[in-house]
């Protein structure tokens, strides 16, 4: 399973340690925390994390917004602001940098976990969001992103059914092999891997929020067998469905 690399930029050492602890429990790799805009921008010119979490107020100034401005121009890394400030003037500055997420202090671990999960998921499909960036306006000259978007909508509405790749190709009007190439180009996954990933995402929710047994979940999500579901789940998460459920229950009992 790929390890997601996260950079935190926070001038309060206690908050920085808290963020690191929450993220590492979710199996993210966390770079050494940075505490100034200058350090952060220099770091980002050399390294490319998959997510940046930014405290807006750094050393008494709203320098976190400078980092957001830099990342907005770069437009390759999602970023989340964390702050206790909600003044109208600062919020106006925040909006201009178009962050992918916002977390208010004081926060709970669940605030960090859910926001990070949503932001990473949404950013993965950035290339088919034709309203997100100016660069994507060029894609309006081709209907490729819209065709892929229709396929994604179909998949998400039919996760519990058997989904044939040939059927997905017909939705786009392309032949099967061209469809697979285009899907992989825009999404970064083959159609099959995307379908499995979305089913595993739903399974994680069901394992956490319901008492459905593993067999029922596998059937409800269209897996060919419980064994196939368990293998796919472990391939995607690194642990078995049963261990995942136990882990989430333990975290919940601890208030996470």
Helices (H), the chain: 13-25, 37-46, 64-74, 88-96, 109-124, 144-157, 165-172, 176-187, 191-209, 214-220, 226-237, 241-253
What pLDDT, on the 0 to 100 scale, is given for residue 99?
Answer: 92
pLDDT, tens digit, 9 for 90 and up, residues 146-195: 889 889 989 988 888 889 999 999 999 999 999 999 999 888 889 999 99
Percent of the chain with pLDDT over 90: 53
What pLDDT, on the 0 to 100 scale, is given for residue 122?
Answer: 78
pLDDT, tens digit, 9 for 90 and up, residues 111-148: 999 899 888 887 876 644 434 444 443 443 344 578 89
Say which CATH topology domain 5-124 has.
Rossmann fold (3.40.50)
What pLDDT, on the 0 to 100 scale, is given for residue 140?
Answer: 31
Task: In whole angstroms, give the CA distance from residue 176 to residue 167.
Answer: 9
pLDDT above 80: residue 255: no
Considering only residues 94 and 171, tell me which one the structure prediction assigns the higher pLDDT.
Answer: 171
Where do the structural domains in the chain lie, given as residue ranges? 5-124, 127-188, 193-253
pLDDT, tens digit, 9 for 90 and up, residues 12-28: 999 999 999 999 998 99
On average, the pLDDT of the chain sits at: 86
CATH classification of 193-253, choosing from 1.20.1250.20, 2.40.40.20, 1.25.40.340, 1.10.10.60? 1.10.10.60
What pLDDT, on the 0 to 100 scale, is given for residue 141?
Answer: 30
Query: What DSSP string runs through 26-86?
Result: TT-EEPPPB-SHHHHHHHHHH---SEEEEES-BTTB-THHHHHHHHHHH-SS-EEEEES--
Name the residue with tokens 């796919």: 232
Tokens of 143: 């209907």
Contacts of 66 (CB under 8 A, 6+ apart): 37, 41
């Amino acid at each position: 399973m790929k390890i997601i690399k996260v950079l935190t930029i926070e001038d309060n050492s206690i908050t920085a340690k808290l963020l690191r602890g929450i993220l590492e429990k979710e199996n993210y790799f966390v770079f050494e925390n940075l505490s100034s805009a200058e350090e952060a921008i220099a770091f980002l010119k050399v390294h490319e994390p998959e997510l940046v979490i930014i405290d807006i107020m750094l050393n008494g100034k709203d320098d976190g917004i400078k980092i957001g401005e830099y990342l907005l121009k770069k437009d390759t890394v999602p970023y989340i602001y964390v702050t206790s400030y909600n003044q109208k003037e600062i919020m106006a500055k925040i909006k201009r940098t178009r962050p992918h997420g916002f977390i208010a202090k004081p926060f709970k671990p669940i605030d960090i976990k859910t926001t990070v999960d949503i932001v990473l998921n949404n950013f993965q499909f950035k290339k088919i969001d034709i309203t997100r960036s100016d660069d994507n306006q060029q894609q309006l000259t081709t209907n490729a992103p819209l065709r892929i978007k229709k396929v994604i909508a179909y998949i998400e509405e039919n996760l519990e059914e058997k989904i044939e790749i040939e059927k997905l190709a017909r939705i786009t009007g392309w032949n099967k092999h061209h469809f697979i190439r285009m899907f992989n180009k825009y999404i970064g996954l083959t159609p099959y891997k995307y379908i499995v990933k979305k089913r595993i995402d739903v399974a994680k929710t069901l394992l956490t929020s319901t008492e459905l047994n593993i067999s029922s979940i596998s059937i409800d999500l269209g897996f060919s067998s419980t064994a196939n579901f368990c293998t796919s789940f472990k391939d995607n998460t690194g642990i078995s469905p049963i261990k995942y459920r136990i882990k989430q229950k333990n975290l919940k009992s601890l208030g996470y």
